[in-house]
Structure 1
Amino acid sequence: MLLRNEGGFSLIEILIAVVIIGFLAATIGPELMNKVTDAKQTAARNQLEILEVALDNYRLDNGRYPTTQQGLKALIEKPTISPIPQNWDGPYLEKKEIPLDPWGNEYNYLSPGNYNTHKYDLWSYGLDNKKGGTGEASDVTNW
């Protein structure tokens, strides 16, 4: 009778592989999540800068920023709420739509601002869409 040497992994080898994979997931996983969070925060800052350029162009044409009531919509459609801009030459955004923040929420706009009293405040509340927060829930602002 011939004994065959069957290939395969022993229980110990499988357990060692599982432990190594678990260790790698525990050490690399959080770092990857931090990169995603950082990327969303950076994307929000970049979108704020694009909106700021559009708002500055609006002001150059019309002598003032849109009011809070006119909002960011004034960048893509001529406002019908007073004061009606006489020199509106928009749309002031290339895509002709107001972008949502990376978490799918609308950007907030206040003119004149509480922080930028001679201009406007522009911000995103982050993941939780609430004031304050840390990490991905932290606010992204222009002040």
Structure 2
Amino acid sequence: MMLGWTKFSDLMKRHGQCRARTRSGGEAGFTLVEMLVVITIIGLVMGLVGPRVLSYLSDSKLKTARIQIRSLASALDLYHLDNGRYPTAAEGLGALVQKPATATSWNGPYLSGTLVPTDPWGRPYVYKFPGQHGAYDIVSLGPDGREDETTANANVTSWQQP
């Protein structure tokens, strides 16, 4: 025999199952044990998800640095086409946004904005002219801010672009 929904709900009401459970003082709420269980579950989920999110964040900063270095390289190439040379080390990347005194055919700014962008870690890009690996070298010092290429915090460079 199958009970209809109305008969089932009447049966549950009769046995007090549909009423909100109340504590001895008549106040509804959660016990300390229930709250601790929920906090523990949230902690476990964050322990599993947190490291993955942080790895995505560090990967995105590396990708951003690579994209910015490509953009700077393109702007340097445009500067070279207009002026017949790359900016000197003394002029630096600032020559892409503000005309240096020695530039004869400057048609810039070659970058949008009035400032050269910083790397994703908030430090300026290192510009070397002449470069050791090409006409010029552009380097982001990476997360640790040091010129090292062997650690997990390796630099992002213009000559090692994937």
TM-score normalised by length of structure 2: 0.73
Task: Indicate yes or no: 2:50 matched with 1:29.
Answer: yes
CA distance in 2, matches of 1:76, 1:68: 15
CA-CA distance at 1:28 after TM superposition:
0.5
CA distance in 2, matches of 1:11, 1:95: 55
Task: Indicate yes or no: 2:156 matched with 1:140.
Answer: yes
CA distance in 1, matches of 2:109, 2:35: 61
Structure-2 change in CA distance of 1:5 and 1:61 (3 Å): closer
Task: Indicate yes or no: 2:108 matched with 1:108.
Answer: no
| 1:89 partner SS | coil
Task: Indicate yes or no: 2:106 matched with 1:63.
Answer: no
Q: Deviations over 1:26-64 (max 9, x none)?
A: 110111111111121111111111111110000001111
For 1:125, the equivalent position in structure 2 comes to: 141
Query: Which amino acid letter does the alignment assign opposite residue 42 of structure 2?
Result: I
Which structure has more RCO (C-alpha within 8 Å, separation ≥ 6)? 1
For 1:90, the equivalent position in structure 2 comes to: 108
Structure 1 runs of 4+ off > 3 angstroms? 7-15
CA distance in 2, matches of 1:52, 1:131: 20
1:77 to 67, 85, 98: 98
Determine what percentage of the aligned residue pairs are the same residue.
43
- Paired residues in the alignment total 133
Structure-2 change in CA distance of 1:77 and 1:5 (3 Å): closer
* 1:1-16 paired onto structure 2 within 5 Å: 5-6=22-23, 7-16=28-37
Query: Cα RMSD between the aligned structures?
Result: 1.8
Query: Which amino acid letter does the alignment assign opposite residue 142 of structure 2?
Result: G
CA distance in 1, matches of 2:130, 2:53: 39
Unpaired runs of at least 5, structure 1: none
CA distance in 1, matches of 2:76, 2:157: 15
